[in-house]
Every structure is written in structure tokens, then in C-alpha cells.
Amino acid sequence: MYKIVGADSRVYGPVPAEQIQKWIAEGRANAQTQTLAEGAPAWKPLSSLPEFAQYFTAQVPPIAPISQPISPLAASGVRKISGWALAGLLFGLLSILMVCCCPCLFSVPGLIFSLIGLSQISNHPHLYEGRSMAIAGLALSIVGFVLGIILIIVSLLHGNLHYHSNFNVFNP
Amino acid sequence: MTSAGSQAVPPRIKSTSPLTLFTGAVLAFIIGCGLVFIYFFNPSTHGFYPVCLFHQLTGLNCPGCGATRALYAMVHGHVLTALHDNALFILSLAGGTIWGAHFLLQKRKNPAARLHLSTKFVWAYLAVAILFSILRNLPAFSFLSP
């Protein structure tokens, strides 16, 4: 007989193994579902119980080897890529690419997202990864911001200098 | 933790949170509105689109120049015109769509999948973008310019 914690954080059971199998098939329990087997000392994820492990072998991704565990906790589980770091990197890239049309528009959110990502990764190194993404996002955002400021200042100084075709030396 | 009793059945585990669905819906709505807008208003004949400061100053084409015209051509089904207007933008759009679709497919198989973007790829992409901006301003590669 087993007890499990449902998605609503309530305890269900005790029920026999066949019932747990049915719940897995119906999507009511998954590999991460906390389970207490009768007589067992502690709650465990359902997939760690040998009698149920077979139902998850196809769904559970192989745990990627972590080359340099930052803390002992990091070795126990897979770290998630920080969503903030990813957003910071994307906005940093956009801040460079879009510097001509919308100077500084993407740099500010890129800067903020990268910094949030960096602090998230620093504070929870065992939960999040993506430090290089956050640093690259930060660098790109800063470069994009500086280029944008330069472009705005030069445009303001030459406000009356509108482009006409013979100004272009390459494509007259 | 409260006990639900021995006869109760646990609820189904939702793989996507309502917040994710809401964000996705809002994003899809904004993108849809943008596409409909650009379908009816040609950037070549309407002046309210943002002007490229760099192009105004120097007359040179930046990596983004021609992107709105390319999008206009794309939503009208003129793929070759779109590629001529801004090949980098159209190819990035195609790549981004494939990347997103691939992630969504992975997410269906394994709810724990996370969106990943390698830093090396970003640097390589940036190098391609810079090369593209230089080439499109050279007479020999003027087919890359709108």
C-alpha cells in the first residue's frame, strides 16, 4: 500500500500498487510525485521506487553530467537554466541588432534581465545555471546602450543633415 | 498537508501553468496584430514606421534596414522579395520559428524541458550579422540591400 501527495498538495491513499499504476496512466501521478510506501521511513519521488521505475524510463530525461558541481547539492539534481539569463541574452542580442532603428529600447530590459539572472544564479547556484548567458547578455546590453547613446547624440547634433543619395559613397 | 481520505482520487497534473498559457496568448495576440497591421500598411508608402537613424546619418544600410519591408513582402507571400530586402532578418525569423517549434515539441514529450540558447551560438550569430552589414554596403553585394 502507498500514499502519494497529489498536485493539490493533499495526501491520497493508502492505495494498492495497481491503483498507483492507474493514476500514472491517467496523469494524476508522475515521476516527481512524493510517495510513502507502507513501512518506509521517508517520502520519496515515485520514480525512485524500483516497483514503479519502469513506468518512467521513457519519460524521464537522462540526467546530464555536471562537469563542475558548484555545491554538493548540485551533484544531486539537474540545475535549471535561469529564464532571466536567457531573456537577458536575447534582449542583449536585440539591443545590438536593433541599435539603428530603436536605440537603447532593448538595452534597458536586457540590462535588468541579465542582472536579475546573475543574482538568481549567484544566490541559488545549486538550482540555476546560465551564468555565461547572463554575462553575455549584460555585455551586449551595455554595448548596445553605449552605441545607441552615441547614435542619438550624433543624430541630434546633425539634426538638419538629412541623408540624400549622393552622400552614400558606396551605392550612389 | 491534509489527507484527502482513502477513497479520493488526486487531480490530474497540469503540465503548463495558467501563467505560461496567458503569456503565450498575449504574445500570440501582439504578434498577430502586428502582422495584420503590416499586411495593410506598406512600409514603402507609409511614413509612420520608425526611421533608421544610422541610415539617415550615413546613408549606409544597418543590419536591420529593410526588415519591415521584408516582413511586408513575407506576409504577402513574396519570399524572394523578402529575402532581397533583408535576408538576415527573414532567415533569423525562420530559424527562430523552428527553434520555438522544436522546443514546444520537446516540452510535450518532457514537461521539464527548458529553453536553451548557447552563448557560442550568440557570438557566431553576431559575427554573421556584422559580416552581413559590411557586405550589404559593398557594390558587389548590393543584392543584399533593399
State ipTM: 0.76
Tell me what pLDDT residue A60 has. 45
Same-domain check for residues A21 and A88? no
Number of domains in chain A: 2
Q: Which residues contact B55 (CB under 8 A, 6 or more apart)?
A: A100, A163, B61, B62, B65
Measured distance CA(A36)–CA(A1) in Å, rounded: 9
Q: Specify if A23 maps to a domain.
A: yes
Give the model confidence (pLDDT) of A47-74 as tens digits.
Answer: 888 888 877 765 444 454 444 444 444 4
Q: Is the pLDDT of residue A169 over 50?
A: no
Measured distance CA(A12)–CA(A1) in Å, rounded: 11
DSSP string, B52-82: -HHHHHHSPPPTTTTHHHHHHHHHTT-HHHH
Q: Specify if A164 maps to a domain.
A: no
The torsion angle over the Cα atoms of residues B119, B120, B122 and B126, rounded to 10 degrees, is 140
Helix (H) or strand (E) holding A34: strand A34-37
Helix (H) or strand (E) holding A129: strand A128-129
Q: Is the pLDDT of residue B76 over 60?
A: yes
Q: What average pLDDT does chain A have?
A: 79
| Mean pLDDT, rounded, for B127-140 | 91
Residue of B nearest to A26 (CA): B12
| CA-to-CA separations, A119 to A49, A112, A130, B9, B123, in angstroms, rounded | 36, 11, 11, 41, 23
Q: Show the domain range for A35.
A: 2-53
Measured distance CA(A148)–CA(A150) in Å, rounded: 5
Q: Specify if A87 maps to a domain.
A: yes
Give the model confidence (pLDDT) of A11-28 as tens digits.
Answer: 888 888 888 888 887 778
**Do residues B36 and B65 lie in contact, with contact meaning Cβ atoms separated by under 8 Å?**
no
Same-domain check for residues A80 and A131? yes
CB atoms A8 and B117 under 8 Å: no
The DSSP secondary-structure symbol of A144 reads: H
Same-domain check for residues A32 and A78? no
| Mean pLDDT, rounded, for A124-149 | 91
Same-domain check for residues A36 and A77? no
Q: Specify if A162 maps to a domain.
A: no
Tell me what pLDDT residue A102 has. 79
Tell me what pLDDT residue A171 has. 42
Same-domain check for residues A14 and A88? no
Same-domain check for residues A152 and A119? yes
* Interface contacts A/B by beta carbons within 8 Å: 131
Same-domain check for residues A44 and A79? no
Same-domain check for residues A101 and A130? yes
pLDDT, greater one: A93 or B56: A93
Same-domain check for residues A77 and A139? yes
CB atoms A11 and B6 under 8 Å: no
Tell me what pLDDT residue A47 has. 82
Q: Specify if A34 maps to a domain.
A: yes
Q: Specify if A94 maps to a domain.
A: yes
All three cell numbers of A16: 494498492
| CA-to-CA separations, B41 to B18, B28, B71, B76, B86, in angstroms, rounded | 35, 20, 11, 12, 18
Q: Specify if A166 maps to a domain.
A: no
Q: Is the pLDDT of residue A126 over 60?
A: yes
Same-domain check for residues A106 and A134? yes
Residue of A nearest to B57 (CA): A163
Give the model confidence (pLDDT) of B18-56 as tens digits.
Answer: 777 888 899 999 999 999 999 998 888 877 787 788 888
Measured distance CA(A102)–CA(A53) in Å, rounded: 53
Give me the residue from B6, B64, B123 closest to A97, CB to CB. B64
Residues 73-132 in A contacting B (C-alpha not used; CB under 8 Å): 80-81, 83, 86, 89-90, 93, 96-103, 132
Same-domain check for residues A40 and A87? no
A154 has a chain B CB within 8 A of its CB: yes
Same-domain check for residues A142 and A93? yes
Q: Specify if A107 maps to a domain.
A: yes
